[in-house]
Structure 1
Amino acid sequence: MKILFVGGNGAGTIFPDIPLAQAARNAGHEVIMTGPEVTMSAILGSGIPAVSVTERTIQDCRVNREGVLVPTPARGPERNIAIGRMFGRLAAHSFDALIDLVEQWRPDLVVSNVLAYAGPLVAHHAGVPWVRFATDIAEPLDIDLAAAAELAPEMERLGLHGTPPPAFSVTLMPESVRPPTAPVALPLRHIPCSTQSALEPWMYTKGDRPRVLVSAGSRVTPDDDFDLLNGLVEKVAPLDIELLIATPDDVAARLELPEGARAGWLPVDVLAPTCDVMVHHAGGNITLTCLANGVPQVFVPYLPGLEEHSARIADQGAARLIDPDDDSAANIAGAVRDLLEDPSYRTAALRLRDEVERMPVPAQVVRDLERVVAAHRESTAAK
């Protein structure tokens, strides 16, 4: 069968989707994954055929359809509404290219990232079922509603009055730390994934000192969020640790690194099993990678919405949550020191890892995808 994966807006939202796409392809199915142009290197680097559906980025979508820059509130419900509108506009910019693709390629199933709001619409247009792919990180209902409102013109073109319901949902988040309001979903084990480079021995081995990895996400640039990353590095650097900084190479080149530190586009999936602690912005891909490897985490959720899953994981004893307003060197370094010295954090993180490892692997979930398509074909033939 043919499966169209409609991917998210950046590398951090693409990487969690890729193992299921790879498993479907390994099972003998035809697979194409789509996304904005900025995601192509991440998809193609994983060996998945890819189609770019827009040159726009999510940052471009701060400008509305009338060409007016819309401010994004710092906090509160208004922020989620603004973000939902941005994702809706990104979906609108992707809509025509996706319609062309499904008309020419004729998929049997669409698997749509929860924030890729054009996916359900093009599945409806193609007359095929769709599956909702979620991480349950910063995916609140009000973002969905705002995106749907933004997509009203596209829905009207298709004769829709709302987003078509999925055949089912999958989630990468272990049940013990899922949001209580999250929709019913099949569990799917997170398989850490990242853009690869030739490995060196230090990447899969560690020395005598504790290994701490710092990241502020894949979207940091020399002009955007650089100070956040540089601040985290400066606050952790005085500790007696082996320091790794995972960030784009052009950002790494601007960091003032302490002696012995390594920085760049590092293969975090390879490094994670060797790390004692990760300090980061609470982004979805790195959070899930820590959970999958039993690594204690220090969360500093600079973006609103990322504190909710951080608090649930911290409540399990597997992490420390630092309020961005209290991100002093003493607080962040103290949290790292606590995680290194108190074994209860590692014990709790390993307990969550064990829960992740009990979740069905992608190859098992592919069988659920196959059943959805088989049921749809039977239903269609019976009409």
Structure 2
Amino acid sequence: MKILFIATGSQATVYGMAPLAAAVQNAGHEIILAGNDPLMRFAEAIEIPAVSVTPEPIRHFMGNGGAGSTPNPPRDLREEESLNFGRAFARMASAEWDALLDLVEDWPPDLVVGGSMSYAAGLLATHLKVPYVRHAEYLRIPMAEIDPVAEEGLRPDLERLGLANLPDPDLFIDVSPPSLRPAGAPDAQPMRWIPRNPQRRLQRWMYARPEGRPRVLITSGTHFRMLSGGSMRRLVDRLTRIGAEVLVAAPEETAEELGGDLGDVRVGWMPLDVVAPTCDLMVHHAGAATAMTVMTAGVPQLIVPPNFHTKAIARALSGFGAALTVPPEQEPGRDPVETMAAGCGEILSTPRYRQRAQALAEEIAALPGPPSVVRTLETLTAS
């Protein structure tokens, strides 16, 4: 069996689809992952065979207007962001189309698995008359808000295929723990989320918990810088003052920038799947792969979300009691570093946050693993 995976968006989509792709390979089937060119290095880093179908990242397709635009102005920022996302993913699907047709002419798949915003996957499966699987790669993807906008943006492509609407998947895979699935979510095949990220040779501090003090890991952010160097130093100082060991996970270029400001603090790239279980608190901006990895480890979170998708993740986790959310838009006169430090102190001193985080981790661990979902994929192609 040949299965084509189509990832659209950031590296989180590659990491989110990788466990199922690996399980397909381990079951003896062939896979290729298609995506935009910037995703190739992330696929290569985790040893997923991948091919570029557009040179541009999703950010190239963002912006107002264009296909799928609405004649009415958005009611609020949330609506505006969902419109922009929907238009962008529609444009990307159209941009990928010719390259995908060339790919499947050389390598015809028996089944197409698309990420939740990979609209080209459903169109391609319809064109090939093979099963289509929609794979939600992480928590709280706002498909109900984005799909109608993308559908309008893809109207010419749909009409060319004789479709009135976006094609329904033959199977929808959802990695959300049951307690965090929103009301009215479509029926889904649940699947356990498994962390997948690049690795390096491990050092003892990465997998061993510190003795006698809590460990707090702060992520600098890949696309969104959560704190400037001076603000990061102040937060680190506040946390070390209450006895915490602080780690700062950052890309190498950011680590070089921050390293001189943070003193005797480990700063740099870290294998999050290994380090997260040793932590008592994670501070981050609700990047999808980061949030899911921390959930799987059963660690409470302090989240500073920058956009409507990350805010949806933050609302879900905070509503469950496994996180605190600090809005990036602070009230005049309030110091964001002080707000974050106070939130960290509350989480570290209140056992309820860890208890709720561990409850989510137990839910995730109880979900079917990717190998069992592969057997479901096999039945789709057999039928």
For normalisation by structure 2, the TM-score amounts to 0.90
CA 1:345–1:232 in 2, change beyond 3 Å: closer, same or farther? farther
1:169 aligns with 172
1:158 aligns with 161
CA drift of 1:227 comes to 5.9
Q: Which structure 2 residues correspond to residues 99-110 of structure 1 after superposition, within 5 A?
A: 99-110=101-112
> What amino acid is the match of 1:196?
Q
Q: Are 1:236 and 2:239 an aligned pair? A: no
Query: Using the alignment, how far apart are the partners of 1:304 and 1:215 within structure 2?
Result: 19
Query: Using the alignment, how far apart are the partners of 2:35 and 2:353 within structure 1?
Result: 37
CA drift of 1:13 comes to 1.8
Query: Using the alignment, how far apart are the partners of 1:210 and 1:334 within structure 2?
Result: 15
2:355 aligns with 347
Query: Using the alignment, how far apart are the partners of 2:186 and 2:220 within structure 1?
Result: 29
Work out whether residues 56 and 93 of structure 1, in 8 Å CA contact, stay in contact via their aligned partners in 2: no
1:125 aligns with 127
Alignment deviations for residues 144-190 of structure 1 (CA, whole Å, 9 cap, x no partner): 11112212222233232221110110111101011213211111101
Q: Are 1:310 and 2:309 an aligned pair? A: no
The partner residue of 1:145 within 137, 140, 148 is 148
Q: Which structure 2 residues correspond to residues 201-280 of structure 1 after superposition, within 5 A?
A: 201-208=204-211, 209-219=213-223, 225-226=224-225, 228=227, 230=229, 233-238=232-237, 239-240=239-240, 241-255=244-258, 256-280=260-284
Query: Using the alignment, how far apart are the partners of 1:56 and 1:193 within structure 2?
Result: 24
Query: Using the alignment, how far apart are the partners of 1:132 and 1:9 within structure 2?
Result: 15
- SS of the equivalent of 1:3 reads strand
Query: Using the alignment, how far apart are the partners of 2:349 and 2:312 within structure 1?
Result: 26
Query: Using the alignment, how far apart are the partners of 1:235 and 1:74 within structure 2?
Result: 34
CA drift of 1:78 comes to 2.3
CA drift of 1:64 comes to 7.6
2:343 aligns with 335
Work out whether residues 235 and 333 of structure 1, in 8 Å CA contact, stay in contact via their aligned partners in 2: no
Work out whether residues 324 and 343 of structure 2, in 8 Å CA contact, stay in contact via their aligned partners in 1: yes
Work out whether residues 282 and 301 of structure 2, in 8 Å CA contact, stay in contact via their aligned partners in 1: yes
Gaps of 5+ in 2: none
2:327 aligns with 323
CA drift of 1:4 comes to 0.6
- SS of the equivalent of 1:115 reads coil
Query: Using the alignment, how far apart are the partners of 1:30 and 1:227 within structure 2?
Result: 40
Work out whether residues 61 and 89 of structure 2, in 8 Å CA contact, stay in contact via their aligned partners in 1: yes
Query: Using the alignment, how far apart are the partners of 2:287 and 2:230 within structure 1?
Result: 17
CA 1:216–1:80 in 2, change beyond 3 Å: closer, same or farther? farther
CA drift of 1:98 comes to 1.0
Matched positions, count? 369
Q: Percent identity?
A: 39
> What amino acid is the match of 1:237?
V
Query: Using the alignment, how far apart are the partners of 2:357 and 2:226 within structure 1?
Result: 29
Please identify, of 177-186 and 286-295, the stretch whose mean Cα deviation from structure 2 is larger. Answer: 177-186
- SS of the equivalent of 2:380 reads helix
CA drift of 1:298 comes to 0.6
Please identify, of 37-46 and 327-336, the stretch whose mean Cα deviation from structure 2 is larger. Answer: 327-336
Work out whether residues 299 and 322 of structure 1, in 8 Å CA contact, stay in contact via their aligned partners in 2: yes
Query: Using the alignment, how far apart are the partners of 1:171 and 1:369 within structure 2?
Result: 14
CA drift of 1:231 comes to 7.0
CA drift of 1:244 comes to 1.9
Query: Using the alignment, how far apart are the partners of 1:340 and 1:162 within structure 2?
Result: 49
Query: Using the alignment, how far apart are the partners of 1:308 and 1:248 within structure 2?
Result: 25
Work out whether residues 213 and 243 of structure 1, in 8 Å CA contact, stay in contact via their aligned partners in 2: yes
2:369 aligns with 361
Please identify, of 316-325 and 135-144, the stretch whose mean Cα deviation from structure 2 is larger. Answer: 135-144
- SS of the equivalent of 1:199 reads coil
- SS of the equivalent of 2:324 reads strand
Please identify, of 301-310 and 266-275, the stretch whose mean Cα deviation from structure 2 is larger. Answer: 301-310
Query: Using the alignment, how far apart are the partners of 1:346 and 1:63 within structure 2?
Result: 39
Query: Using the alignment, how far apart are the partners of 2:231 and 2:144 within structure 1?
Result: 31
CA drift of 1:316 comes to 2.0
Q: Are 1:88 and 2:90 an aligned pair? A: yes
Query: Using the alignment, how far apart are the partners of 2:192 and 2:261 within structure 1?
Result: 35
1:52 aligns with 52
Work out whether residues 5 and 112 of structure 1, in 8 Å CA contact, stay in contact via their aligned partners in 2: yes
Work out whether residues 178 and 309 of structure 1, in 8 Å CA contact, stay in contact via their aligned partners in 2: no
CA drift of 1:33 comes to 0.7
Query: Using the alignment, how far apart are the partners of 1:331 and 1:213 within structure 2?
Result: 17
CA drift of 1:65 comes to 9.4
2:12 aligns with 12
Work out whether residues 277 and 297 of structure 2, in 8 Å CA contact, stay in contact via their aligned partners in 1: yes
1:178 aligns with 181
CA drift of 1:259 comes to 2.0
- SS of the equivalent of 2:216 reads strand
> What amino acid is the match of 2:90?
G
Query: Using the alignment, how far apart are the partners of 1:339 and 1:292 within structure 2?
Result: 18
